[in-house]
Chain A
Amino acid sequence: MSVTSSAVRERSPARPLPVPEPPRRHHIRRQTHPMWFLAPAFAILLVFFFLPTLFNFVYAFTDWSGFKSAINPVGFDNFAQLAADGTLLRAVRITLVYAVLVALFQNLFGFGLAVLLERDTTLNRVARIFFLVPVLMSALAVGYIFQALLKPQGSLNHLLGIDYAWLGDTTWTIVVVAVIHAWKWMGLSMLIYLAGLKTIPEDLMEAARIDGASRMKAFWSIRFPLLAPAVTFNVATALLGSMNGFDIVQATTGGGPARTTEILNIFIYRTFGQGLFAQATAMSLVLFLLVALLAFPVIRTLRRREAVL
């Protein structure tokens, strides 16, 4: 009996109830929800996630490489070297530009699709499934498809009657690759926006219409703000997902032309392959710090916007 009542008390704090006995409740919790249930998950996290992350902070400051077996501390040499030849700043800038472009395109495409396919007609249901195909496909495969499609003598130029090197432009190729990334994931954003649109009660729109608001006006001033949670989720996942991106860039440009699409993970992969493990680790640490520094403000800002709306 006491088990039930203490739990009920905990679940509904609004009800005025006699003061609970915390020590006793703790004791019960310890028996019914033992802490050792956490052990396997946290053991795996410790060994395969936290420990390597900790190693990042150690080995980025050594001369670890594939060419010799000894590993010696070298202080900030790796970072100084990466900063001196401009690689560090360029890779960070490219990664950020790429992430912002992907977040922008993926959300524009996903939102557009959600609005277009909102009604539950048979055609719309089928169309939604088609837009999910790229989400399920391997990103590597998506990259190869677009590499073939965007070749200078490829189909897109053929259809448009031009001969533009879509993947060979040092200025605009990063935009093209971001569009490809957004193409792959727009189906996911679409689903989340669709789910968001569904949660908005129909009578809100009806009320607006009775009050004389036009379709457009009702949409932008009532439904759009209520989509804030979906926007938060989509923008955050697109930003973080593309900062940690690799496959699509690797399969379309491999970081080229002239390293203008070399995001951090491409650099890490390339230098690791060359046996320059310490440099790869240093960049991996840069990526870690970049994401850690950006993620929390981004999520907090989006959440605050949600609360205001």
Chain B
Amino acid sequence: MRKVQPFAVIALVLVVIGIPLWLVVVTAGKSQGEALNPDLSLPQHWQLLENLRQVWTEGEVPAAFFGSLLVVVPTVALLLTFGSMAAWVLARRATRLNAVLYALGISGIVLPPAVVTVVLLLRQLGLAGSAIGMIGVYTGIYLSTVIFFVTGFVRTIPPALEEAAQIDGAGPVMVFWRIVLPLLRPVLATATILICLYVWNDVFYAFFVVGGRLDTLPLNLFRVASAGLYLNNWHLIFAYVVLMSLPLVVVLAVAQRKIISGITGGAVK
């Protein structure tokens, strides 16, 4: 058993993960004619850089990258600040009202957001198609996740530190900012990883809210691919996939230990 295991692991990784990734890389390096029917063969002559350059301009990658950042960064900032403010008070003040508010606050973990009517609402608010509207929608969707994780975490922190600061005369804002937030760092790291994963890759909500009016990386991939499937541009689709995945692969390579402990940290007690 122990002798076979390493070979089983290697074979499994090669087949289950290796083949799909290999297909992406070799197809991204082929010419249009060669990539017409994507297969696992090596390109006769590599033109990965040319293909990357072509999708860089045709897929408007710089604009899409900027659009994605424009949405993800404020979303994460708002979620972490407002989410942990709410979670702190919900965890520390155990009143009946707060129990109800907590249940409402975490209901979004389970309940699907109303994607169609949110468009109508944004129109009425004058936020349709704007980055602000998109940020608001993402924040509304994922606040539940943040409140859930952070409230659970606050309950495990003894309140003694906060009390010491209160006796020294610090107000709630000061206590929250100076004492509580730094203690929340591990759970906020977990939340950040999860949110980034969801928001960075989301197309579904983006279709409804900003479809066509703001470029994000997944939306532009969809555009390139929708045109590409019709024109049989598999080499461009996969060149885009390579470009889009590169930042993530770099992040994973650098911070894999943090990511692994971050993802699992919140899930199992």
List residues of chain A with CB under 8 Å of any chain B CB. Answer: 3-4, 7, 11, 26, 29, 31-35, 37-38, 40-42, 44-45, 47-53, 55-56, 59, 64, 116-117, 121, 123-124, 127-141, 144-146, 148-149, 151, 153-155, 158-159, 183, 188, 191-192, 194-196, 199, 229-230, 233, 240, 243-244, 246-247, 250-251, 265, 268-269, 272, 277, 280-281, 284-285, 287-288, 291-292, 295-296, 299
Contact = CB atoms under 8 A, between A and B. Distances in A.
B158 A56 contact: no
B107 to A, nearest CB: 9
Contacts of B238: 144-145, 148
B82 interface: yes
A29 B217 CA distance: 46
Interface stretch (B50-58, B159-167, B181-189): B159-167
Given A52-B114, A132-B256, A34 B121 contact: no
A38 B16 CA distance: 46
Contacts of B268: 192, 195-196, 199, 229-230, 233
B67 interface: no
Contacts of A47: 121, 125, 136, 140
15 contacts: A38-B85, A52-B117, A127-B13, A129-B256, A136-B248, A138-B203, A141-B221, A151-B37, A192-B267, A233-B267, A247-B204, A265-B115, A284-B112, A284-B114, A284-B115
A280 B159 contact: no
A287 B88 CA distance: 32
Q: How large is the interface on B (under 10, 10 to 19, 20 to 34, 35 or more residues)?
A: 35 or more
Contact of A155 (B39, B116, B158): B39
B111 A195 contact: no
A147 B206 CA distance: 23
Nearest to B217: A138
A145 B20 contact: yes
Q: Give the interface centre of A41, A53, A56, A124 by most chain B CB atoms within 10 Å.
A: A41
Q: Give the interface centre of A129, A135, A151, A292 by most chain B CB atoms within 10 Å.
A: A129
Interface string B12-31: 11001101110110010000
Contacts of B93: 29, 33, 35
